[in-house]
Amino acid sequence: MQGYTQRIREAAKRLLAEKKVDVVMGFRKGTIPFMNEPFLAKSPEQVDQLLWDGNCGINLANYLSGRKDRIGIVAKGCDSRNIVVHLLEYQIKREQLYILGAPCHGMIDGRRITEELAGKEPLQVEEENGRIRVSGKGFEESFDRKQYLQENCAICMHRNPVVYDELVGDLVEEQRDVDRYADVREVEGLSPEAKWKYFEDLIAPCIRCYACRNACPVCYCPTCFVDESRPQWVGKTVDPTDTRTFHFLRAYHVAGRCTDCGACERACPVGIKMRQFTKKLEKDIKEMYGYEAGVDPESRPPLDTYRPDDPRDFAK
């Protein structure tokens, strides 16, 4: 992964100099550890701010909707899948994009490392040989990178970008023996009452800040259902039914479109694991319709189409 930064900068410089793109979308160092920030380099002079490491978890596709300019974009596996979703949903045109594919080794779950530090403030984070070295005032600790990946990254099966114009690193070996749905199956095995309780506990801390929605690359409706007044799905007061409705409908709206990029959980200030909602839909869609979001730019999203032999035994 070390060489990525250099190659991103070289490519960005070239693309901007040759006027192939108007901007290059990537990451630069953030103001706090574990949190690089999205950055738009608009001139060759700015490209040296671009960098790449395990803290580039934000899904850059979220910034593409409706842009009219030509964009060079650094895309790891999930970003590229969301680019495909955007292409399928006419949010951007392929010819506007120059995709710098970044084969991904998984993004670091900074939240969990911070917890391990038990109050010590990390000031510097470095990655080397599969270890994460965190140092601060008077301490230095090292973590096994594999153990501290974001949950969605740990079970990711599309680390390599699915579309790209050039690569900024060598393709990585995809994880094969991953059980993506162990947690979903566990819930499936519960009684209805226990299922209800499981999700009730899961979303209990929700303050309905909608950060999950805002971080999600596929949530781009001009008016969200939470702002509808007739019917008012989500009221102004803290009502558990409304909170449940919000999470339920949010997940339903991204069905067949969610790439499990983890942006929602990453953005949540109270740590809700709302991927438990979306993963069930993802699993069903895969099992019933054989579809994975954002993998194939040629096939319509699963709710945009049907097959005559779709399973229909749910109905009498």
Partner 1 sequence: MSQWEPKIVAFMCSWSSYPGADYAGLSRLAYPPNIRIIKVPCAGRINPKFILSALRQGADGVWISACHPGDCHYMEGNLYASRKFALMKNFLEHTGIEPGRVHFSWVSATEGHKFAQTAKEVVDSVKALGPARHMIKKEAEVA
Partner 2 sequence: MNGNLGLEPSAGAVMVVGGGVAGVQAALDLAESDFQVYLVEKGPSLGGVVLQLDKTFPTNCVGCLGCRAQHVGMAQLDESIPVNDCSTCIVSHKLEESGRHRNVQILTMAEVESVEGGAGNFQVRVRRKRRNLDWSTAPPTVSYGADEVVSLRVGAIILSPGFKVFDPSIYDTFGYGVYPNVVSSLELEGILNPYGPNHGRPVRPSDGRPPKRVAWLQCVGSRDLHKGAHGYCSSVCCMYAIKEALAVKQHDPEIDTAIFFMDMRTFGKEYEEYYNCAKNEAGVRFIRSRIHSVEPAGAGSGDLRLDYIDESGQHCSEIFDMVVLSVGLESPSGIQSLAEKLNISLDDNGFAAVGDFTPVETSRPGIFACGAFAGPKDVPSSLIEGSAASAASAAILSNSKKAGFQGNTYPPENPVVFERPRVGVFFCVCGSEGTGAVDVASVRESVKGLPNVVYVSEEMLSCGPTAQEAVVKAVGERRINRVVVAGCSPRTHEKFFQETLRNAGLNKSLLEFANLWFQDAWVHEDQPAPATQKAVDLIRMAAAKAVLLEPFPQQEYKVNQKALVVGGGVSGMVAARSLADRGYPVVLVEKSDRLGGYALNLFKTWRGNDVGPYVKELVGSVANHPNITVRLSSIVDRVEGYVGNFKSTLSNGSESEVVEHGVVILATGGKEFEPAEYLYGKDNRVLTHQQLDARFKAADPALRSLESAVFIQCVGSREPERPYCSRVCCTHSMESALQLKRINPDADVYVLYRDMRTYGDREKLYLEARKSGVVFIRFSLDSKPRVDRVDGNLHVTVFDPILQREITIVADLVTLATAILPNDAGILAKALDVPVGREGFLCESHLKMRPVDCETDGVFLCGLAHFPKSLDESIAQAMAAASRAGAFLSKESVRFSGAVAYTNQMMCSSCGTCVSICPFSAPRFNDKGKAEINPALCRACGLCVASCRSGAIRLRGYEDAQIYAMIESI
- The string of DSSP codes covering 99-143 is EEE------B-HHHHHHHTTTPPEEEEEEETTEEEEEETTEEEEE
Binders of partner 1 in range 221-240 (CB under 8 A): 225, 231, 233, 235, 237-239
Using the minimum distance from each CB to partner 2, give the nearer residue, 85 or 149: 85
Q: Which two tokens stand for residue 230?
A: 């007739």
Binders of partner 1 in range 147-206 (CB under 8 A): 184, 187-188, 192-193, 195-200
Say how far apart CA 79 and CA 63 lie, in whole Å.
11
Minimum distance of partner 1 from residue 260's CB (angstroms): 16
Tell me the residue length of the chain. 316
Using the minimum distance from each CB to partner 2, give the nearer residue, 87 or 107: 87
Minimum distance of partner 2 from residue 98's CB (angstroms): 22
Binders of partner 1 in range 257-286 (CB under 8 A): 277, 280-281, 284-285
Using the minimum distance from each CB to partner 2, give the nearer residue, 15 or 215: 215
Q: Which two tokens stand for residue 112?
A: 């969990």
Phi, psi dihedrals of residue 202, rounded to the nearest 5°: -55, -45
Using an 8 Å Cβ cutoff, are 152 and 265 in contact? Answer: yes
Using an 8 Å Cβ cutoff, are 203 and 244 in contact? Answer: yes
Question: Quick check: 296 binds partner 2 (CB under 8 A)?
Answer: no
Among 19, 68, 176, 316, binds partner 1 (CB under 8 A): 316
Using an 8 Å Cβ cutoff, are 122 and 34 in contact? Answer: yes
Contacting range for partner 2; rule: CB under 8 A; set: 26-34, 84-92, 176-184, 269-277 = 84-92
Question: Quick check: 139 binds partner 1 (CB under 8 A)?
Answer: no
Question: Quick check: 138 binds partner 2 (CB under 8 A)?
Answer: no
Say how far apart CA 78 and CA 162 lie, in whole Å.
9
Among 76, 81, 213, 253, binds partner 2 (CB under 8 A): 253
List of residues contacting partner 2 (CB under 8 A) = 88-91, 220-223, 225, 228, 230-231, 253, 300-301, 303-305
